[in-house]
Amino acid sequence: MKIYKVASYEQMSQEAAKHILKVMTEKPNALLGLATGSTPVGMYQALIRETRATGFSWQHIVTYNLDEYVGLDALDEQSYAHFMNVNLFDHVSIDQAHVHIPNGKAEDLEAECRAYEASLKTAGGVDIQVLGIGRNGHIGFNEPNDAFEPYTHVVHLDEKTIEDNARFFESKEKVPKTAISMGVESILSAKKIILLACGKEKAQALYDMLYGPITPQLPASILQKHGDVEVICDEAAASLLKGPFDV
């Protein structure tokens, strides 16, 4: 894995946007794997700015998001569908028919997971996947567990995740307890992966991901198996890492 340490959140966001812009420019119908959370917000802002400045057309770009809460639909302000609209899709010329986010309101959640995975496969695979990392080492909503979940699945959220995400809800009790998430094989099938991390609360997870054993107890460690991962992190998130940085 390559590790790229930057001085600020703004720089991390710019650098991440640069990777995505490169893929989009080389392939105007690229398939982007997208993430939610506080970390990628600045990257989406940079992408909006840059594509507006250059007049890049999003018309043929296709997106697949990593995850969605069960029980929330796109109109719910806490849903990831809403997050994506507010932070990216409402500001670019993307065709909504090309946007894919698991349906957290599906009547048959297992069928929704199977359909999402099949659609991802049929679409031809992700060209560049954006990831954040949880304090507990999750990627998407692949939570610490006894075994890796390979494909899109329903997941019971970890207590740490519920605590971390409570800041977006009125109270911790309002955070959904389950979600749909791409699995680790779905993620690893991306051609290229960029993982963004900022803040000292991510430092241990980042260290374990890079130097610890590959274990489902720290789902991000599976990324050690992928040949093209770039970690873009600020100094606080990198504070436990030892140089030289390419591992």
Q: Dig out the tokens for 57 from the structure.
A: 């057309």
Residues 188 and 220: beta-carbon distance below 8 Å: no
Binding mask 133-162 for ligand PGA (x = CB under 6 A): xx---x------------------------
Q: Shortest gap between Cβ of 41 and ligand PGA (angstroms)?
A: 8
**CA geometry: angle at 20 spanning 56 and 72, to 5°?**
95
Question: Taking the complex as a whole, how short is the minimal distance between the CB of residue 37 and ligand PGA, in angstroms?
Answer: 3
Q: Looking at 6, 14, 16, 39, which residue binds ligand PGA (CB under 6 A)?
A: 39
Instruction: Check if 65 is active-site.
Output: no
Candidate segments 6-14, 115-123, 132-140, 149-157, binder of ligand PGA by CB under 6 A: 132-140
CA–CA separation, 188 and 129 (whole Å): 9
Q: Is 142 a catalytic residue?
A: no
Partnered with residue 193 across adjacent β-strands are: 129, 229
**Catalytic residue (choose from 143, 149, 164, 234):** 143
Q: Which two tokens stand for residue 163?
A: 């605590």
Show contacts with ligand PGA in window 174-233 (CB under 6 A): none
38 binds ligand PGA (CB under 6 A): yes
Using CB under 6 A, which of the segments 110-118, 130-138, 184-192, 213-221 binds ligand PGA?
130-138
**Cβ 71 vs Cβ 104: under 8 Å:** yes
d(CA 138, CA 134) in angstroms, rounded, equals 5
In the complex with ligand PGA, which residue's Cβ is closer, 38 or 224?
Answer: 38
Is the CB of residue 223 less than 8 Å from the CB of residue 229? yes
Q: Which of 63, 68, 82 is nearest to 128 (CA)?
A: 63
Give catalytic status of residue 143 as yes or no: yes
Using CB under 6 A, which of the segments 75-83, 107-115, 127-135, 222-230 binds ligand PGA? 127-135
**How far is residue 154's CA from residue 112's CA, in Å, rounded to a whole number?**
9
CA distance 57 to 211: 40
Rounded Cα gap, residues 20 and 132, in angstroms: 15
Please tell me which residue in 138, 149, 153, 158 is annotated as part of the active site: 138
Smallest distance, ligand PGA to C-beta of residue 228, A: 20
Among 132, 137, 176, 183, binds ligand PGA (CB under 6 A): 132
Contacts to ligand PGA by CB under 6 A: 37-39, 132-134, 138
Name the residues annotated as catalytic. 67, 136, 138, 143
